[in-house]
Structure 1
Amino acid sequence: MTMKKRRSGALRGLAQVGTRKKPDGSSFGDVLESLGDRSFGWGFMLVGFMNMLPLPPGTNMVLGLPILFFAVQMIFGMKALWLPGFITNRVIARKRWRAGALTALPLARPLSRLTRVRLLSVFQGKAERPLGLLLLVTGIVLCLPIPLTGWLPAISLFVTGVGLVEHDGAIVGLGIVIAIAAIAVAVAMVFAIYFGISYAAQ
């Protein structure tokens, strides 16, 4: 008897959305409700991924703003991600959801091999609140126009988001390490710019 391979949380979420038996499709509110506590992970993962793309300089100052909104909700201990009604009421046709799920499969399948449910203490009690604070600082770093500091925050947000979606505390820990490194690089760049300007002014 062969054991059925465990599918990732990301794949389960996409499949659930794509197979909802609603003739007009599913709203974003339906999606958030079905994802539950995984919704924060999806938010961080998607925004992090967008900021990892080769976009024009300065784009991260706008695309990074949702991270601040998500992180503040985590700090306040909200159980699921809240979005305004004009977003949650939007309905996406079933065909478009299915197309999106199929597009994401090449990324989701490798992730399912790397992740598993572990170190659940990261997701219990008030442990997510300090994580939200760290992600808030990381989001601020992402939005600031500091040279050479755009990719690391985006990568940390993406990795942390994957860990939250999959309930994988080890992956969340890796995202935390990358986030701390991103903040350290940003601080170092600020000091370098400050002392460089001070030296040039002498």
Structure 2
Amino acid sequence: MNQPLQSLQQLLERVGELTRHNDQVSIGMVVESIGSRSFGPLLMLIGITLFSPLSGVPGMSIFMASFVLLVAVQMLFGRKQFWLPHYILNRSVEHDKLQKVLDWLNKPARGIDRVLKPRLTFLVRNGGSYAIAAICVVVGLCMPFMELVPFSSSAAGLALLALGLALVVHDGVLALLALVIFGATFTLIVINLL
């Protein structure tokens, strides 16, 4: 069984292992490699996808919204292992496209991991993690509107990545930063849609 992830770099390395051994990498393969019990790494995966150039694929925001909602709602109900439908698990990308994204993210990931440490842990443990899941439900419900506002899904992806990392390394300061990014993104969407 895989050891729990403790950094963004470890997540990228696990996904990178899949690209070396498979022509197509499915979400199911990635979830299995990072563990289907861990809310933080799954949020990191969603965030990386939305923040990366893959967010430019039409419909990606709506697809990732369903992923966010499924995982966050299950966390709110206290499930120990997340269930995901086959239509999500079977989605795949060619290994060379995925490897380009991983290479693009590698240097920023190393820098981010150097800064993170456990701080304000009450914000990301126990009750705090349920509050994060509730926020993710709200974000998931807003994501279809992000198709209409350029770069808003990338900003939401950055915030989801930050929340996932905050849960993994127990960094409450990072969780607060993610909330600021969510607030700015929500404001941007409202201003552009009104």
Tell me the TM-score normalized by structure 2. Answer: 0.65
| 1:177 matches 2:175 | no
The equivalent of 1:166 in structure 2 is 169
Matching residue's letter, 2:117: R
- Number of aligned residue pairs: 179
Contact (CA 8 Å) 2:46, 2:64: kept in 1 or not? no
CA distance in 2, matches of 1:49, 1:84: 23
Partner residue, 1:40:
42
Note the aligned Cα RMSD (angstroms): 4.2
> Is 1:123 aligned with 2:124?
yes
Q: 1:130 to 1:148 in 2, by over 3 A?
A: same
CA gap of 1:166–1:181, structure 2 versus 1, over 3 A, is same
| Alpha-carbon distance change, 13 to 59 in structure 1, aligned in 2, over 3 angstroms | closer
In 2, the alpha carbon distance for the partners of 1:81 and 1:34 equals 6
Higher Cα Rg: structure 1 or 2?
1
Amino acid at match of 2:126: G
Match of 1:76 in 2: 77
Residue 25 of structure 2 corresponds to none
- Return the offset for 1:179: 0.9
**Structure 2 residues without counterparts, runs of 5 or longer:** 23-27
Contact persistence 1:11–1:108 (CA under 8 A)? yes
Shift of 1:11: 2.8
Map Cα deviations across residues 88-143 of structure 1 (whole Å, 9 max, x no partner). 799xxxx99xx689735323211112211222212322222222221222222221
2:117 and 2:170 in contact (8 A); partners too = yes
Please list every run of 5 or more consecutive structure 1 residues that lacks an aligned counterpart in the other structure: 1-6, 194-202
| Paired-residue identity, % | 24
Tell whether the 8 Å contact from 1:60 to 1:150 is kept in structure 2 after alignment.
Answer: no
1:9 match: 7
Which AA in structure 2 matches 1:130? A
Q: 1:174 to 1:89 in 2, by over 3 A?
A: same
The change in CA–CA distance for 1:107 and 1:82 in structure 2 (over 3 A counts) is farther
Q: Distance in 2 between matches of 1:57 and 1:83?
A: 22
Find the aligned partners of 1:42 and 1:172 in 2 and give their Cα distance: 13
Asked if structure 1 preserves the Cα contact closer than 8 Å seen for 2:12 and 2:106, the reply is no
Instruction: Report the counterpart of residue 150 of structure 1 in structure 2.
Output: 152
1:75 and 1:133 in contact (8 A); partners too = yes
Post-superposition CA distance 1:20-71 (Å, at most 9, x none):
xxx99x9546424387453333333233324x65625654333433222222
User: Is the 8 Å Cα contact of residues 68 and 140 (structure 1) preserved in structure 2?
Assistant: yes
